[in-house]
Amino acid sequence: MKVIVSDPISDEGLKIFRKNGIEIIDAVDSTIDEDYKHVSDANGWVIRSGTTLDAKIIDKANNLSVIGRAGVGIDNIDISAATRKGVVVMNTPDANTISAAEHTMALILSLSRNVSYGHQSLLNGNWDRHKFIGSELRYKKLGIIGLGKIGREVMQRALGFNMDILGFDPFIKEDMFRSDEIKLYGLEELIGESDFITVHIPLSSDTKNLFDYNMLSKMKKEARIINVARGGIINESDLAEILIEGKIAGAALDVFEQEPLSKSSPLLKAPNLILTPHLGGSTKEAKAGVSTAICNQISNYLINEELENAVNFPI
């Protein structure tokens, strides 16, 4: 059996394949398209966010039976094409939860205390201490959109800062939470009330461009928005325009509609904006966790036909 690995994973994960006698096809530095020379040989395929498996590639993968996403987001896999082809798609929904939640808090703190701007000012030889007056998180309203595992971890950390938590999730009932910890709101009400908004929802046809110019305009002028979920949920051109016009206080993005971020992106000219290159799950602990989890899952499926964290049910 052969497994293509086209994005970097930890050695701990690769050892699992070797231990089970599965041949590893290293494609980390290869061009991945339907003409990739190993596409028809593979029984399994491991990816992270750097590889896109579209219908053309999947249709050429005649021996493929499982795709494993080392991470949560699966918008870079054509699920419908995989399902039609009889290919199981798996992910690892728990392994990078803590890392993503901690990075969210890092961005919230950086925005509230002007960390990146203070640093850059010092590098430029200035001492603009009074120019970068920040604000405390205590008693500020944090709106969390999406109350899955990562959203709930963010909530627990924000409670430690004595923030007031507002939540929105159409699939969550209020009795699932303590009333002294969080209050559930409608989406537009949450947007209008929050001092900070953090997004923790998947990218889909319903959530793409959810935060367009109109929705961003509903935020308070002193509010800030953070996205460590998926690129495309916030319309990047509209966000840049909103920031340039000074209609909100700031934003922080870790994910983008096109990655790597284009040098022509309007975000690069927007003020009061912190950008990081998809670091939400980029910790040693998370990389090891998603790698070992997905390699175990794929090995168990190829050898024993055991399903774990499957996101589709092939015909």
Cα–Cα distance, 144 to 142 (Å, whole number) = 6
Give catalytic residue positions. Answer: 230, 259, 278
Question: What is the pTM assigned to this prediction?
Answer: 0.85
Cα–Cα distance, 274 to 185 (Å, whole number) = 27
The confidence score (pLDDT) of residue 22 equals 98
CB 14 within 8 Å of CB 20? no
The confidence score (pLDDT) of residue 315 equals 57
The confidence score (pLDDT) of residue 188 equals 97
For 72, left (φ over 0), alpha (ψ -120 to 50), or beta? alpha
For 113, list phi and psi in degrees, rounded to 5: -115, 10
Low-confidence spans in the chain with pLDDT less than 50: none
- The encoded tokens of residue 252 equal 């922080």
CB 225 within 8 Å of CB 251? yes
Dihedral in degrees, nearest 10, Cα atoms 81, 82, 83, 87: 160
**SS3 at position 218:** coil
For 243, list phi and psi in degrees, rounded to 5: -70, -40
**SS3 at position 14:** helix
